[in-house]
Amino acid sequence: MSENDNLQHADGKKEVESTETTPTQPTEIEMNAAEAEVNNDLDEGSVIEIVETEAESIVKSEDDDVEETPETEAPKDDLVDEIEASNAEDAEDESNAERHEVEEKDYHAMTMVELTAEMGRLLKTHKIQTISKHVNEIKGEFNAKFSELLDEKKEEFIEDGGNEIDFYYTNDTKKQFNSYYKEYKQTINVYYKEREQNLKQNLDNRLQIIEDIKGLLSVEENMGTTYKTFKELQEKWRNAGPIPRDKYNTAWNTYHHHVERFYDFLHLNNDLRDMDFKHNYDQKLKIIERAEELAEDENTNRSFRELQVLHKLWKEELGPVGKEHREIIWERFSNATKLIHDKRQAYYADMDKAHEKNLERKEEIIAQITALAEDKGNSHSAWQKKIKEIEALRDAFFKAGKVPLKVNESTWAKFKSAVRTFNRGKNSFYKDLKKDQYDNLKKKKDLIQIAEDNKDSDDFATVTPLMKKIQNEWKTIGHVPRRDSDKIWKQFKAACNHYFDKMHTERKAQDQHLYDAFDKKVKLLDELKTLELTEDPKADITILQDKIAEWKAIGYVPQNKRYIDGKFYKAIDDKFDKLKMDKSKLEMIKFESKLENLADSDDTRLLDNEQNFIRKRITEIKSEINQLENNLQFFSNVKSDNPLVKDVHKNIANHKKELDTWKAKLSKVRGMYS
């Protein structure tokens, strides 16, 4: 039996192992590095593509041209097949480790803008050979979404009276996406052209190395020198670079076969051979222990990815072990591999269940879209509400996750059909609405004509009511086509503004004396605000009264400027409040100032309102005094110097004093009438 009968290949043959004794063989540190490498494994849900390669298992003996096959063939193992096929693919591309660093994203849930941005990001941040799978997924999702948009635009075009043969639509997002995809195709084509040449050359180099190893068997020289040459050839093999995947297993099988023949040729030097066997045995135990640890890892994709690396190390870096260990360690490694395989199969079974739930959710969303499509809205607001609901459902559909592959296309077709039906109903409604909008446009243009015909009129008494009337009519007319809305509003507004500006300018010229009075009052108000009072209350009162008299002497201001009178009398009250004098007297002085202001008003209702307010306040104070006097009856047996009794008497006195002030104010108001 061959020394490597227990290591199985993707083609069903067992692997022929090589040996290594130099420090370049995988040490424990290198094994840890391999572990670190696979932390950049495939994301959950990704599937390793199984590439079938029919490796040539027949190798020729140097001496006799007779086909050699292993004495025993193990049954084909699906998982090892998959691992070998994937490692063969990896061997063709040295950057494969980087490929798995590309983050998996849910492209189905992205918008066209987001997909375009993601395409640009991939081109900018990753090597071109690592993103093919992602680019193809993004392209598929983008084309599906753009196709849906294209259908909508086409229907709108035809319903607006366009001829289907004349339809064309694109947008900036589509143009940018096409630019990115063109860049990708050009770059990847250049890469594959260069790589094809490199792979062919590397294969030629490896075949020559095999020939050189075969040649060692016929060299007649010192065994130590021959062994050194053999190790140098192994190092050249290790650094020879990637080769075509379909030649990978054949090349490795042939290489291992002749490495094994060299060890047979070396059997006289048992020390060298035993040292290699022991080293390989120790390293393979470490690989087995790591595989058994991976069997406990819950992240099945990560464990499978690292298992690939372990199989690659077992096959490519390590040579044979002693015959007494071969079947035992391979069986142990195979058992750990099977455990990982079983967990991975269970993981995909759970994923299938999740995809079924996603399918249920998407079918619910499609049913909701269908229901909205059947609900015929009869107003713009109702349709706008439904449009927002459809947008929310579309987002929910894209974010619902993947469905089973066998129903993916049919589910997408049902979704597009439901959305298309809704859009047809929406377009039909707005087509009818556009007819109404064109009627409204004509009505508003008629009002614009009236406004422009009268905008230069000097007959303000006649035209002003007309302009106000057409402004009100404008508000009652419904929507017009969006493309005309701003334009006609600006025309109408300009004509109306022209008229009213002209009217206000002429009226202002007639009432210039009122505007001059306003300017004087503004100046006087500013002076009052900065006025510093003296310590003599009588002198300060005289000053403030003079200010009031000066204010009245200025006269009237324009109707829309009369607010300044309120500001002035408020400022006067603020100054009075700062005088150091009896509060009741001060209150009467302020009140007299207020009455003079009311008397100057043409509105007699202001004086009536003031009189009614004072009467009401007098009634309230009298009621409060009566209540306090009634409260005193509860203290009939309490001494007069009791704090509570004294407080009640004090409140009664204050209320009576306040009552006298309000009575005096009432008398002043009555005097104003006469």
Residues 6+ apart with CB under 8 A from 28: 286
Q: What is the pLDDT of residue 88?
A: 63
Q: What is the pLDDT of residue 140?
A: 87
Q: Are 623 and 659 in contact (CB under 8 A)?
A: no
CA-based nearest residue to 255, from 201, 321, 316: 316
Q: Are 135 and 122 in contact (CB under 8 A)?
A: yes
Q: How many Å separate Cα 240 from the centre of its chain?
A: 46
Q: What is the pLDDT of residue 43?
A: 33
**Can you tell me the distance from the alpha carbon of 463 to that of 499, in angstroms, rounded to the nearest whole number?**
9
Helix spans in 295-378 (H):
300-316, 323-374
* Side chain identity, residue 615: R
By the 10 Å C-beta count (0-12 exposed, 13-18 middle, 19+ buried), 630 is classed as exposed
CA-based nearest residue to 317, from 243, 249, 234, 241: 234
Q: How many Å separate Cα 416 from the centre of its chain?
A: 24
How many residues in the chain?
Answer: 674
**Would you call 15 helix, strand, or coil by DSSP?**
strand
pLDDT < 70 positions in the chain: 1-82, 84-101, 159, 220, 266-270, 272, 597, 599-603, 674
Cα torsion angle, 155, 157, 162, 163, sign: negative
What is the β-pairing status of strands 67-68 and 7-8?
unpaired
How many C-beta neighbours within 10 Å does residue 519 have?
A: 12
User: What letter does residue 7 receive in the DSSP assignment?
Assistant: E
Q: Are 246 and 91 in contact (CB under 8 A)?
A: no
Reading the block at residue 156, the tokens are: 């709108």
By the 10 Å C-beta count (0-12 exposed, 13-18 middle, 19+ buried), 256 is classed as buried
Q: What is the pLDDT of residue 79?
A: 61
Q: Are 257 and 16 in contact (CB under 8 A)?
A: yes
Cα torsion angle, 522, 524, 526, 528, sign: negative
By the 10 Å C-beta count (0-12 exposed, 13-18 middle, 19+ buried), 512 is classed as exposed
Residues 6+ apart with CB under 8 A from 421: 370, 373
Region for 242 from its dihedrals, namely left if φ exceeds 0, alpha if ψ lies in -120 to 50, beta otherwise: beta
Q: Are 118 and 138 in contact (CB under 8 A)?
A: yes
> How far is residue 266 from each of residues 2, 16, 553, measured CA to CA in Å?
15, 17, 130
Q: What is the pLDDT of residue 75?
A: 37
Q: What is the pLDDT of residue 15?
A: 35
By the 10 Å C-beta count (0-12 exposed, 13-18 middle, 19+ buried), 434 is classed as middle
**Can you tell me the distance from the alpha carbon of 653 to that of 659, in angstroms, rounded to the nearest whole number?**
10
Only one residue has tokens 């007098």, namely 618
By the 10 Å C-beta count (0-12 exposed, 13-18 middle, 19+ buried), 406 is classed as exposed
Q: What is the pLDDT of residue 353?
A: 85
Q: What is the pLDDT of residue 81?
A: 65
Q: DSSP assignment of 188-228, as one string?
A: HHHHHHHHHHHHHHHHHHHHHHHHHHHHHTT--S-HHHHHH
What is the β-pairing status of strands 14-15 and 59-60?
unpaired
Q: What is the pLDDT of residue 58?
A: 27
Q: What is the pLDDT of residue 115?
A: 93
Helix spans in 217-322 (H):
223-238, 245-265, 270-294, 300-316
Q: What is the pLDDT of residue 63?
A: 36
**Can you tell me the distance from the alpha carbon of 26 to that of 310, in angstroms, rounded to the nearest whole number?**
11
How many C-beta neighbours within 10 Å does residue 131 have?
A: 21
Residues 6+ apart with CB under 8 A from 21: 231, 272, 275, 276, 279
Chain segment 415-458, per-residue pLDDT in tens = 888 888 888 888 778 777 777 888 899 999 999 999 999 999 98
Domain ranges of the chain: 1-82+193-279+309-316, 356-425, 434-509, 511-602, 604-674
Residues facing residue 68 across a β-bridge? 59
Q: What is the pLDDT of residue 266?
A: 67
Q: What is the pLDDT of residue 70?
A: 34
Q: What is the pLDDT of residue 366?
A: 92
**Can you tell me the distance from the alpha carbon of 582 to that of 580, in angstroms, rounded to the nearest whole number?**
7
